[in-house]
Structure 1
């Protein structure tokens, strides 16, 4: 099966989504991972700190994003030479559907203070197994053969798409984010991270809806390398809400964390 080469194709006014953005609930609607990455791309391009590091990304999902043309507008809410706050808003048909608030910082590699004596160094990646010892996985619940689950190669160190409960997975991109340019490690991370609640689901998707209304990602360093991963857990409350949290990592160790708030109801 030949897959599209990118999640989005640029147009004169914005971008057009490919079939690789299709989510599990409706073949006409996107998974939130690809538009999250696209918003981060635009926020970085709008920022005024050359080579800056994006350290926190807060997404509000205002409505489902259709598979089709989208546009993104950006605003630098707090300019600065050392830190800046950038907002990016995705809309389709004139309606805002996802909003990103991103803090970015100036980077430096020299003159940094050392950790206090006795503080342990960052541990290796938290996954139970590395990429080579993890099992390939395919999601059985997507309605379309070509959809979001094919945008990444998946290797599960524990758990899996089709088994409920916590899961740890490695991923590698099978496509680029935007046609004609390479996908960056941060873009790859954001395409992947919204799936944390999917790989760690504790409810049967055929009988329950558990859609996240937000995504928050905090990073203490940039991701690097071909393979990135997440170790995710979902906790179900007793009032129709759930919370998913994940440790994000690459082959060198942990890089940050993500959280998602989920709205839960019977189908």
Structure 2
């Protein structure tokens, strides 16, 4: 199967989304993972701390992102030589669709480091798997290679997967581990779904990724659990790993309703 080489291709002063951004709910709308990764890229490009570490990324999904042209912009809200706060916004169809605020810190030597906590299943020991819920043959699920470490993508309940990129974020640029991590992490509620995809929509309105060290390498993992509340609200949380061990955690708030 021929796939686009990237989630986005340059298009004038913006970017054009390819079919690899298509989400599971509507083929006209993007999965939130690719635009989240695009905003992480923009925040780091606007940073005033060269070589710094992004330690928290907090996303607000302001509306659906259509598969089409998008524009991104960033500004430093709180400058500093050691710590800064960067804001990045993605606009589509003339309206803001997603916003990121990212705390970044200057990297330096540490006097004490916690021992790494590795995932119990290494990527080479995880089994190949695929999402079966996308209506389009070429969509977000084709952009990453998925290997199941625990649980099932076909049955409700907690699950863990390793992934590695099959494409670039922006054509002509390698996808960085941080961009890969964010693009993957937004799928945590998909791999750990508690309800039938055919009967229920569970879309996240936000995503927070908190990291105590930067991701590294081609393989990254999320070990995810979704919990449902009594009034159409859910929460998905995931421990995040690279091959060297745990690197942080993500959490997302879910709006749940019948399809």
CA distance in 2, matches of 1:160, 1:99: 31
Match of 1:190?
A: 182
- Partner of 1:23, secondary structure, is coil
1:228-247 matches, within 5 Å, as 228-247=220-239
Match of 1:148?
A: 140
Does the alignment pair 1:214 with 2:212?
Answer: no
Match of 1:78?
A: 78
Match of 2:124?
A: 132
Runs of at least 4 residues off by over 3 Å: none
Question: How many Å apart are 1:235 and its aligned residue?
Answer: 0.3
Question: How many Å apart are 1:160 and its aligned residue?
Answer: 2.6
Residue from 145, 148, 151 that aligns with 1:159:
151
- Partner of 1:45, secondary structure, is helix
Does the alignment pair 1:61 with 2:57?
Answer: no
- Partner of 2:238, secondary structure, is strand
Structure 2, unpaired ranges of 5+:
none
TM-score, with normalisation over the residues of structure 1? 0.95
CA distance in 2, matches of 1:146, 1:161: 18
Does the alignment pair 1:26 with 2:26?
Answer: yes
Does the alignment pair 1:257 with 2:249?
Answer: yes
- Deviation digits for residues 118-175 of structure 1, max 9, x if unmatched? xx623222xx411121111111110000000000000001113212100010001000
Question: How many Å apart are 1:43 and its aligned residue?
Answer: 0.4
Residue from 116, 122, 137 that aligns with 1:122:
116
Aligned length: 259
Residue from 205, 208, 216 that aligns with 1:224:
216
CA distance in 2, matches of 1:226, 1:160: 23
Question: How many Å apart are 1:239 and its aligned residue?
Answer: 1.1
CA distance in 1, matches of 2:8, 2:112: 42
CA distance in 2, matches of 1:86, 1:80: 11
Match of 2:46?
A: 46
- Deviation digits for residues 220-264 of structure 1, max 9, x if unmatched? 000001100000000011111000000000111000000000001
CA RMSD of aligned residues (A): 0.9
- Partner of 1:102, secondary structure, is strand
Question: How many Å apart are 1:114 and its aligned residue?
Answer: 2.1
Question: How many Å apart are 1:66 and its aligned residue?
Answer: 0.4
Structure 1, unpaired ranges of 5+:
none
Match of 1:5?
A: 5
